[in-house]
Structure 1
Amino acid sequence: MRVLIIEDDKILCESLVEYLKTKDIMADYPPDEREYFNYLNNYTYDVIILDLVLRYLKGEDILRQIRAKGISTPILILTSKENISDKETCFRYGADDYLTKPFNLRELVLRIKSLSNRSHIHSLIKIDNITVDIDAQVIYKDGAEVNFSKIAWNLFYLLLKHRGEIVYNDTIMGYVWGDKPSSDEIIRTYVKMLRKILPPNAISTYKGRGYKLNL
């Protein structure tokens, strides 16, 4: 799981990153909240954690801008603002959850996982002679388990979550490889692996742009 934290308290951000890592949740945070959209362009996130009181921008404006761009990623508001009017505004703008500071870290993780599960696909998917077990991260073909790498699985899962949509190369690199070196050629290599497993024409190529899962 990967989350984006939009918060101007660097110490809090660094503490959250370290804590969430112990729960197998990767977290990014822009050092300047005005750069948040660069992160959304380059990575795919399961949940966005957003403060309302920031250095340069209002969290409410960021929330509204994210939804105006058609981004449906679940958004958890994490703020010191407790008034019901603030909550009403955020939910009206498209927030999915609201947690006030100070907060319990365990509760934060529970809320993140709950929001992430809302956007996840069904745990068992059947496509012709292919069965995909999402929870076990396993693909079966004609009843036999297919042996493939963690990287191949992450790529397939990303395409599956966004099936019917073009997933751009930059997004794939960020989600699958993170900060590790990658390239369009490496992506093509793993797409070729997936094509050997999946039905014909399951993955469409958009040259120089990305790939789309047609299942």
Structure 2
Amino acid sequence: MATVNVLLVEDDHDLAAAVADYLELEDILCDHAYNGLSGLQLATDNSYQVILLDLMLPKMDGLSVCEQLRRRGIDTPVLMLTARDQLEDKVAGFRAGSDDYLVKPFAMEELVVRVQALAKRRSGNSRKLQAAGLLMDLDSRSACRNGQSLKLTPSGWILLETLLRASPGLVSRRALEQALWQDSPPDSNAFKVHLYKLRQAVDQPFESKLIHTLPGHGFILRSEDEN
């Protein structure tokens, strides 16, 4: 099993040490910050698979840290750790962009299971998506490549968002069709038309292609240097 790399933002030194020691036993590497500002800086400057974020932190609380991460386009999954177990507290955490919630005190075994599950995916809460020179701002509904604005159809927006969230991973045709039409796709030509229009917007004005087809497998958004 590949090593998982996480960031723990927790101001309780004893709890932080216990969590870090236990995670190491499970082959999970753990960086640590004792306040919200330091945690935000580490999460911005480094790449982690999961962020473990305490709700009550000095200098900047966990909700604010999470909101800032999402505004910066950082889509690392966030597991919120807190002693608060009221529904409104959980709702506030999810609205801030967290992906999961664990109430203190918690069993270390459950923490490990949740970390391993979150490490397998990116967060769906990022408000800015970027890869291979593409930037998509979900709040302003704008997209650009190398600073040049892209004109996308509504269907093209959905396809590009799906590809960006997975980049540089593979997305099957079935997954793209579900993103557009859920479980009721029209005839195959409709998908081909929408994909063609997206390629015209994203690739046609530029020297290199970003949207690539893997016959029999699906589609990948990445620069040609990554192929």
TM-score (norm 2): 0.53
- Cα deviations by residue, 1:10-68 (Å, 9 ceiling, x for unpaired): 11111111110000000011233311233123321000001111122221111111111
State whether structure 2 residue 30 is matched by structure 1 residue 27. Answer: yes
Q: What's the counterpart of residue 13 of structure 2?
A: 10
Q: What's the counterpart of residue 177 of structure 1?
A: none
Residue 110 of structure 1: which of 113, 125, 130 is its match?
A: 113
Q: What's the counterpart of residue 129 of structure 1?
A: none
Give the whole-Å Cα distance in 2 for the aligned partners of 1:56 and 1:41.
Answer: 17
Residue 92 of structure 2: which of 78, 81, 89 is its match?
A: 89
Give the whole-Å Cα distance in 2 for the aligned partners of 1:213 and 1:50.
Answer: 35
Q: Is the 8 A contact 2:35 2:60 kept in 1?
A: no
SS in structure 2 opposite 1:49? strand
SS in structure 2 opposite 1:113? helix
Residue 61 of structure 1: which of 59, 64, 69 is its match?
A: 64
Q: Judging changes above 3 Å, is the alpha-carbon distance between structure 1 residues 93 and 31 closer, same or farther for their aligned structure 2 residues? A: closer
Give the whole-Å Cα distance in 2 for the aligned partners of 1:109 and 1:212.
Answer: 37
State whether structure 2 residue 226 is matched by structure 1 residue 214. Answer: yes
Q: Is the 8 A contact 2:44 2:69 kept in 1?
A: no
Q: Is the 8 A contact 1:163 1:212 kept in 2?
A: no
Specify every segment of 5 or more residues in structure 1 that has no aligned partner in the other structure, as ranges.
Answer: 121-160, 165-210
- Cα deviations by residue, 1:174-205 (Å, 9 ceiling, x for unpaired): xxxxxxxxxxxxxxxxxxxxxxxxxxxxxxxx
Q: What's the counterpart of residue 44 of structure 2?
A: 41
TM-score (norm 1): 0.55
Give the whole-Å Cα distance in 2 for the aligned partners of 1:95 and 1:32.
Answer: 18
SS in structure 2 opposite 1:29? strand
The count of corresponding residues between Structure 1 and Structure 2 is 130
Q: Judging changes above 3 Å, is the alpha-carbon distance between structure 1 residues 11 and 91 closer, same or farther for their aligned structure 2 residues? A: same
Give the whole-Å Cα distance in 1 for the aligned partners of 2:34 and 2:96.
Answer: 24
The Cα RMSD (Å) is 2.4
- Cα deviations by residue, 1:66-113 (Å, 9 ceiling, x for unpaired): 111111000001100111001111111211100100100000000000
- Give the aligned residue type for 1:59: G
Q: Judging changes above 3 Å, is the alpha-carbon distance between structure 1 residues 212 and 93 closer, same or farther for their aligned structure 2 residues? A: farther
Q: CA deviation at 1:212?
A: 9.1
- Give the aligned residue type for 2:107: N
SS in structure 2 opposite 1:106? helix
Q: Is the 8 A contact 2:36 2:61 kept in 1?
A: no
SS in structure 1 opposite 2:120? helix
Specify every segment of 5 or more residues in structure 2 that has no aligned partner in the other structure, as ranges.
Answer: 124-165, 170-222
SS in structure 1 opposite 2:76? coil
Query: Identity percentage over the alignment?
Result: 36
